[in-house]
Amino acid sequence: MKRKLLFISTISLLSCSAFSQTVNNVPIKEIHSEYIQIKGNPVLLSNRLNILIDFGQYAKSLSTKDQVILDSSGKRMQFNSMIDALNFMSANGYDFVQAYGVAINNNEIEHYYLLRKGRK
């Protein structure tokens, strides 16, 4: 009986964590930063975006791999647009504060959204 209870408890715990999306190994719903910034990077040969999240986390290198959203299987999540990402973050407890753009090469603009963790 104890083994069965332990097995059920373990499966329940694993299934709860399996559905969470993470950034830098932190589940999005457990980010403790009041403010975060999201940035959309185009996916090569696609209309979709990789969304980068900056919540002040330590970056181990100059790459952006510590800022990407990973799904429950560890794959990089992609979004249809910045609004798709904004709706995703809203569902995870963040409110829109401000959006701004930064001009880069070839008259392209990088879009950034500043979000704030919703107050309870």
Looking at 8-12, 30-34, 63-67, 96-100, which range is the least confident one?
Answer: 8-12
Is-contact 40 111, C-beta < 8 A?
yes
Q: What is the pLDDT of residue 87?
A: 95
Distance of CA 63 to the CA centre of its chain: 16
What are 59-80's pLDDT values in tens digits?
666 567 778 888 888 898 889 9
- pTM for the whole structure: 0.71
Could you tell me the residue ranges of all domains in the chain?
21-117
Q: Residues near 26 by Cβ (< 8 Å), separated by ≥ 6?
A: 55, 57
